[in-house]
Amino acid sequence: MSTTNLEEPKITDIVSKQSNIFNHIKFEHLVAGVSGGLTSTLILHPLDLIKIRFEVNDGRHIRSELQYNGIFNAFKTIFTKEGISGLYRGVTPSLWGAGSSWGLYFLLYNSLKSFSSRGLDTDYNQSHLGC
């Protein structure tokens, strides 16, 4: 029986071969996530506001006294009574939430994806897979 002399790698060798996760961070992904979150919030906030107003008024009035008769009527009523600022009432917290959450999501997802695809040296991975 022939035995091969395969030495286990030392922990210092493993650590030196590992890629540092901070090398995989690209702030372009953060900027892309923040700008995407802000854009989607600015475009869709009027619809979200109308949805919330329907939810608040649901079941509080009898049918003949409803505040809005549909989406288009709600949009028209809010726009004529409150102006464009009425459609964007409460947008600031939504912008903060969407911008920060989408920015961090894009940053962390792409950083971890890049780190996991190039993580350890392939020789070390193959030697411990029992190949």
The per-residue pLDDT for 15 is 52
Tell me whether residue 131 is in a domain: no
φ, ψ of residue 28 to 5 degrees: the values are -65, -35
Tell me whether residue 22 is in a domain: no
Range of the domain at 82: 28-118
70 or 67: which carries more pLDDT confidence? Answer: 70
Tell me whether residue 8 is in a domain: no
Q: Which residue matches tokens 């090398």? A: 23
Q: What percent of the chain has pLDDT over 90?
A: 47
Tell me whether residue 108 is in a domain: yes
CA geometry: angle 98, 40, 50, nearest 5 deg: 95
Tell me whether residue 101 is in a domain: yes
> Quick one: residue 121, left, alpha or beta (phi over 0 = left, psi -120 to 50 = alpha)?
beta
3 or 67: which carries more pLDDT confidence? Answer: 67
pLDDT digits (tens, 9 = 90+) for 83-130: 999 999 999 999 999 999 999 999 999 888 887 887 544 444 444 444
Tell me whether residue 2 is in a domain: no
Q: How far apart are CA 131 and CA 126, in angstroms?
A: 6
Tell me whether residue 71 is in a domain: yes
pLDDT digits (tens, 9 = 90+) for 21-64: 566 678 899 999 999 999 999 999 999 999 998 888 766 665 55
Question: CA-CA-CA-CA torsion for 81, 85, 87, 91, nearest 10 degrees?
Answer: -150
